[in-house]
Chain A
């Protein structure tokens, strides 16, 4: 690893780099044994709300495990309803925060109840379906929703409110799509193993993406055979969940830089996935993309391909250490089952071929 240059003030870094050549040999050795290893560990990394868990759930689904089974999804009723409540609460709180009045008096009543006493069990009552839907359609709430970049709101909001009549029923069993669309902030690290044929097992590791969660990633960095880094295309107008004054794209770039240039991953196939393409295309139709990137040609801002190309450049510029031929870039819409299946197959192929090359 002779090409590594360390910033001169980083004494510890120098110390470490001196130790690197030796440290890489056993690392390479483990990569070589990976060929014979029956288990491939793939890390899903990325900043918060980049879609790691969504992809994780999709992979579960098309491998026929986990949420594929009804009885597993029944356990998640709470989670879906909690999501509805969280979204409703956030919207109502936003109307207060943004000084947008809720117009209909009965919706104001509903809003009060939501803030103060509503719990997930109440949602079994179908009457809540109408009340919540009416609240959702209220002009004030809709206005707040249009300004959702100013506060924290899950991407699932619209979908869940449109499906209230199913959710608010005592017979409700979440569909696979419901579970995939539901936003749950992953806490800690979780993993799952899938059979991928050839007697090989794929071990997919899903992690939390917020700042404090990222400190836990290190525990898995040693045993990695491939890294899939996700970033959200549609986050260009959003700030962080854990720090409202910090731009998400900047955070994603920072995290990407730290991960891709990590010495432990030099020999590891690396996939960069631009997620939420669907949302992104909708978003740039109404929002100015170039407003957020001064280096971007304004004339092209309604062209998703050009925008994605620009984003790709931004991210690839961050790569200073990792060999570029083991980096693959793809776009993804993780909530779309077919798309994520196809992309994941491609990713798997890429990882396998990279491993054979070793």
Chain B
């Protein structure tokens, strides 16, 4: 029987693949990678592209990842897949958008936070909730 290693492909949103494989093909930022069991420990970023897994018996499965990280240990290969296309300028753009949203919608954003007012307001809300709870208990008993 051929040697195998454990392969996991996970994204932040779900587990994509988990099982044993004879060989894994992936495209790293420095070039194509073909990984066999007992590969030296390696950590690299992945380019958007396909990941091919040759499972026991030679059957192959293909997955598409839009980038991510690849961790290799002698008998474990982990692919931390991105679900979004990542690039420095794209991230930058998203950050600026998030900031702009805050600036646009929140009028008095630079003013001092009113701790006393916030606490009073929250205390009131909590008291209301407790009152409702008490009323309910009383209604349940009668």
Do A and B originate from a single complex?
Answer: no
A residues at B contact (CB < 8 Å): none
